[in-house]
Structure formats: C-alpha cells, structure tokens
Amino acid sequence: AQSVTQPDIHITVSEGASLELRCNYSYGATPYLFWYVQSPGQGLQLLLKYFSGDTLVQGIKGFEAEFKRSQSSFNLRKPSVHWSDAAEYFCAVGAPSGTYKYIFGTGTRLKVLA
Amino acid sequence: DAGVIQSPRHEVTEMGQEVTLRCKPISGHNSLFWYRQTMMRGLELLIYFNNNVPIDDSGMPEDRFSAKMPNASFSTLKIQPSEPRDSAVYFCASSPTPGGTEAFFGQGTRLTVV
C-alpha cells in the first residue's frame, strides 16, 4: 500500500540552526514527491517537488530536499532556520500516471526558539 | 489567478443539521480533491474527481458524506446529518491534469458541529 511516514511529530530548533525533516515513503515505483508547509489557519503551500532528474531539489524560502531512492526518503533541509519558518510541514507522494491522488504524511510541527 | 476558493471559511452547526461546503477550483484544472484534516488523523483524502467524474471515493467516511462536481468550476461536499465527530478542517485542492504536477490548496473550511 502507498504510504508516507514522517517519524518526527514535533521538532524544536533555535533560530539560525540547521534543520532536517525526515520523510520516508512506500510506493511501487518512484512517485512524485512534494513538501508542503502549513501556517496556522492557512492552507497548504508547496515548498518544492521532485519528479525526476537531479535528486537535490531547491524550493522556496531557502528550503531544499534530497531524494534517495535506496532509502525511499525525501528529507527536507534548511541551513539556517528563521523564526517565520515555524509551521507544520507535510511530505506527500503522487502517482506519475494512472489514478492520480496525493497521499500525505502526518506532518511535522516545527517550533523555532528565538 | 485567485487560486482555489472555498466557502465558507468557518461553519458552526448543530448536530443533525445538513452542512454544505463549496469549492471553486483553479480554472483549467481537471482534477479536484477533498481532504479532511484533524489532529487525530492528519490529512485524509476523502474523494477525488477527474474531469468532473468521481474517481476514488474510498476515503469518504460513511454514507452521511457525499460530494458532487456538476461542472468544471464547482464542487460541493455535503454532510447530512452532521455529527460532532465531523468537526475538522476541510480542504479542497485542484491540479491541472492527472500526474505531473502538484495540488493547489484552498484556505480550508473549519467546521464545528456542536
């Protein structure tokens, strides 16, 4: 069955520190991969996506993610966190073809200490 | 582009009442998704449409829930009768075609059933 696992429910980092949010997926083939961010009371905004090609993808707000096929992972990173990055982050997978729907992980809530 | 538009943003209703949530997808998008977000279950896919046709409704929790897409620019999610456990944030999302791109989310409707 298709699934997405975000093992960290909560993460707290200090402003200026580096960040890595983990995402593992289970899928029959290489899916399309996404990271979304949700600020309180808001909808989900796309940070970045991976379809094919270079396994290191750059997104908005200084975020990047690396696709590792051997580990079925798509971890999100940021070298220096800003207080405004405090939000909930969702990893998602989508099928490249056929019945196309997006499966989301349970999310990681990021807290940033001043 | 105005993005995905959902209405109302907030809905408070009494148990047993009918609730209708509305969504206008981005013009030209052929796929539409309804998600429900709760603390306990995270972001769950309820149903998705492609070219106005329901493709997968396996996530609809029970017969009290129904969704329609009478045309390419409008969809509704109806709950009848509503129950307190239906309280959640309901998101609508759309994407241009099956496969190959990300989903664009609306701001959500926060439903409270008392």
Partner residue facing B105 (CB), from A43, A103, A106: A43
A51 pLDDT band (50/70/90 cuts)?
Answer: confident
- A99 at interface of B, judged by CB pairs closer than 8 A: yes
Residues B34-49: tens digit of each pLDDT? 999 998 888 898 998 9
**Shortest Cα distance, chain A CAs vs residue B5, angstroms:** 11
CA–CA gap between residue A31 and residue A45 (Å, rounded): 19
Output the six-digit token pair for B101: 């791109």
Distances (CA, A) of B35 to A32, A75, A79, A80: 19, 24, 32, 32
- A97 at interface of B, judged by CB pairs closer than 8 A: yes
Do B91 and A43 make contact, defined as CB atoms within 8 angstroms?
A: yes
Per-residue pLDDT for A43 more than 60?
yes
Q: Could you give the dihedral angle defined by the CA atoms of residues B104, A61, B43 and B59, in that order, rounded to the nearest 10 degrees? A: 30
pLDDT, residue B42, reads 85
- A5 at interface of B, judged by CB pairs closer than 8 A: no
pLDDT, residue A29, reads 77
Q: Which residues contact A113 (CB under 8 A, 6 or more apart)?
A: A12, A13, A14, A15
> Looking at beta carbons, which residues of chain B come within 8 Å of A43?
4, 91, 105-108
> Looking at beta carbons, which residues of chain B come within 8 Å of A96?
99-100
Residues B41-76: tens digit of each pLDDT? 888 989 989 899 998 898 998 899 999 999 999 999
Q: Which residue, among B40, B43, B57, would best test binding to A if mutated, counting the most A CBs under 10 Å from its CB?
A: B43
Per-residue pLDDT for B99 more than 80?
no
Neighbour count for residue A89 (Cβ, 10 Å): 24
Looking at the DSSP bridge assignments, the partners of residue A33 are A50, A93
Neighbour count for residue A8 (Cβ, 10 Å): 15
Per-residue pLDDT for B110 more than 70?
yes
Determine if residue A85 is left, alpha or beta; phi over 0 gives left, psi from -120 to 50 gives alpha, anything else beta.
alpha
Q: How does the average pLDDT of chain B come out, rounded?
A: 92
Q: Which residues contact B80 (CB under 8 A, 6 or more apart)?
A: B18, B19, B64, B66
CA–CA gap between residue A104 and residue A89 (Å, rounded): 10
Candidates A29, A81, A44, A109; CA nearest to B94 is A44
Partner residue facing B98 (CB), from A100, A104, A105: A100
